[in-house]
Amino acid sequence: MAATAPESHLRENPFSLAQQQLHKVAETFGIDERLVNVLQECKKAVEVSIPTSLDDGSVRAFRGYRVTHNVSRGPSKGGIRYHPDVTLDEVKALAMWMTWKCSLMGLPFGGAKGGVSCDPKKMSRGELERMTRRFTSEIINEIGPEKDIPAPDVGTNASTMAWIFDTYSMNKGHSVLGVVTGKPLTIGGSLGREEATARGGLFCLESALEKQGRSMEGLTVAVQGFGNVGSFFAKFVAELGAKVVAISDSTGGIFNANGVDVAAAFVHKRSGGSLSELKGGDHITNEELVTIDCEVFAPCALEQVVTEENASDVKAKVIVEGANGPLTPAADDVLESNGVLILPDVLANAGGVVVSYFEWVQGLQEYFWKEDEVNARLNEIVRRAFDETWATYTDRKVSMRMAAYGLAVQRVAEATVTRGLYP
């Protein structure tokens, strides 16, 4: 079986792109080559086979991964994704991005990521549970509250985290609340976690608009992806007076120059429907949504949706990266030269890991916070990170991505030097 499905959405090797980004940052910020040699590699990568009994009585062995990129600032942290195109190199890239994201937000974590190559949309709940529990058993020695803390990502949710939490706890003989974040509220989840990634993106967009002397009122926004991140982001900006002109999910989407009914779409999607069934606008493809006429474009689905081929057709002047790595480096260059302000993934979608950190802390203390407390602390951390990034962006005359990565990589490099090399 080939490592990458031929119909993969990944046009370029994501780990190579992540390494290229790191080298570019090192050149710009003068980071020692010896440190780059350490930071460009992942500390540990585990690949496991996950034999699973399917509902028809057959058994299928899925392929799963757990990668730790760096632990110099604390235990590693990162989501688990279930998607047909999951590869080891994709998971490595995502783990590296998580390191920078945690560093930029000032969290005491390093980066990790996990994934299983499967199509969760074609699996029953029972199959997903059996596969998740076996996957947890296979990586049980790799994860733990002081070691590596998984969370939800593409294709996984609170139920997935509940199964991992339960499997891990059953093996340990007692409940271990801090082993995963993104859990249901009834078993140690945090208020505000579900909306956190989108809320963080909203705080970044509000901060950027403030710097430009603009407001959310009447702003035209297109959102690609209507999962956890995209749906809440569209809902939040619409509630603050923005006009969401286009939305999409994996089946396609709709465009309406007068504004899509986001509240209706939100309810429709939550009840199991797809956006391609929605009325109230012109049906568009995901490719068409990228180049829709709007002021703000929020890619909240998968990586590499804006490439060198379509970057010059993007009409938005602000891009909020709700997804990880939605723009290729070549696309970045085109957009920068066209004067587009890019709010990079390590800044714009870090709200999820910030509230995951809050959940981890609450789990360790077994003391839980009110929702307004969670959101206020999230706001404080994200806006501080935005202001630090903006200051570097203006002082160093570099892109917002380079500023964010520069701050993040320098902090990890400093921690690495402070700790020294063992032995």
Q: Which two three-digit tokens encode residue 256?
A: 């309406």
| Cβ pair 39, 21 in contact under 8 A | no
Catalytic-residue membership of 172: no
Within 10 angstroms of residue 376's Cβ, the number of other Cβ atoms is 13
Specify the 3-state DSSP secondary structure of 283. Answer: strand
Within 10 angstroms of residue 252's Cβ, the number of other Cβ atoms is 18
Distance CA 283, CA 306 (A): 20
| Cβ pair 254, 260 in contact under 8 A | yes
Place of tokens 């990162």: 78
**Cα–chain center distance at 389:** 19
Distance CA 121, CA 239 (A): 30
Task: Calculate the alpha carbon distances from 296 to 37, 142, 171 in Å.
Answer: 37, 40, 47
User: β-strand 59-68 against 318-320: which pairing, if any?
Assistant: unpaired
Distance CA 399, CA 392 (A): 9
Give a three-class secondary structure readout of 44-109.
Answer: EEEEEEEEEECCCCCEEEEEEEEEECCCCCCCEEEEEEEECCCCHHHHHHHHHHHHHHHHHCCCCC
Within 10 angstroms of residue 58's Cβ, the number of other Cβ atoms is 8
Vertex 341: Cα angle to 338 and 346 (nearest 5): 130
Place of tokens 């020695």: 141
Among 77, 101, 113, 235, the one annotated catalytic: 113
Give a three-class secondary structure readout of 285-334.
Answer: CHHHHHCCCCCEEEECCCCCCECCCCHHHCCCCEEECCCCCCECHHHHHH
Q: Which two three-digit tokens encode residue 211?
A: 């710097």
Q: Based on the number of CB atoms within 10 Å of its own CB, is 275 exposed (0-12), middle (13-18) or buried (19 or more)?
A: buried
Specify the 3-state DSSP secondary structure of 118. Answer: coil
**Strand residue runs (E) in 118-166:** 148-152
Distance CA 158, CA 252 (A): 25
Q: Which residues are catalytic?
A: 113
